Amino acid sequence: MARRRLSEAIRWQIIGMHATGASFKAIGRQLGYHYTVISRLVRKHRQTGAVKDRPQSGRPRVTSEREDRALLRIIRREPFSTSTVLKRAWLPNRHLSTRTVRNRLKAAGMAARRVIKRPRLTDDHKRRRLAWCLARQRWNLRTWRRIHWSDESRFLLHVTDGRLRVWRHRNTAYTPRNIRQTVPFGGGSVMVWGCTQFPMTAR
């Protein structure tokens, strides 16, 4: 059977056909609906006297589309703000939860993610880097082969700089296996410097 939404006219037609003695299956075959659809409609009519759908359950939406766009404008100005700060800046006179803020941003395709950290560049840094690149944009392979590239890395001897997490049961925070031992000042580190020359063969 075709699964189509019943119009109000069709619904009253079904009620009338059932009142004349037609069975659920007979009405369904004639109108192209499964007999269970017919039986549910008749049962609802007996209980309520109406054929319209009841109001859908669920909490109504507390913000309008215009208000949601205002939240996105705030995010564009202050992308590092927390949901608590956004709630106060968005609609300060409304009682909204931070979950509402996160839901609206999620619906707009946005999510809180880890921030990528890079060295801060001033306008002077940017101009100098651009000038460096423009001065060498016509270098050929023979010229690049004369350049040595160097870099350095820091290796910690005991712990990492990042925040660590541990999977454990409740009240087991001080169990030896759940404790990461530390030493003063991180236990020291080793700086490694190296350099390499531009590959001799082009790929």
DSSP result, the chain: ----PPPHHHHHHHHHHHHTT--HHHHHHHHT--HHHHHHHHHHHHHHS--SPPPPPSPPP-S-HHHHHHHHHHHHH-TT--HHHHHHHH-TTS---HHHHHHHHHHTT----PPPP-----HHHHHHHHHHHHHTTT--HHHHTTPEEEEEEEEESS--SSPP-----TT-TTSGGG-----GGGG-EEEEEEEEEPPSS--
101: in domain: yes
Q: Per the domain annotation, does 38 fall within a domain?
A: yes
Task: Quick: pLDDT tens for 3-62.
Answer: 467 888 889 999 999 999 999 999 988 888 888 889 988 998 888 888 887 666 667 778
Flag whether 26 is in a domain.
yes
Tell me the pTM.
0.44
The answer to the question of residue 132 being in a domain is no
| Total domains present in the chain | 2
Residue ranges making up the domain that contains 30? 8-48
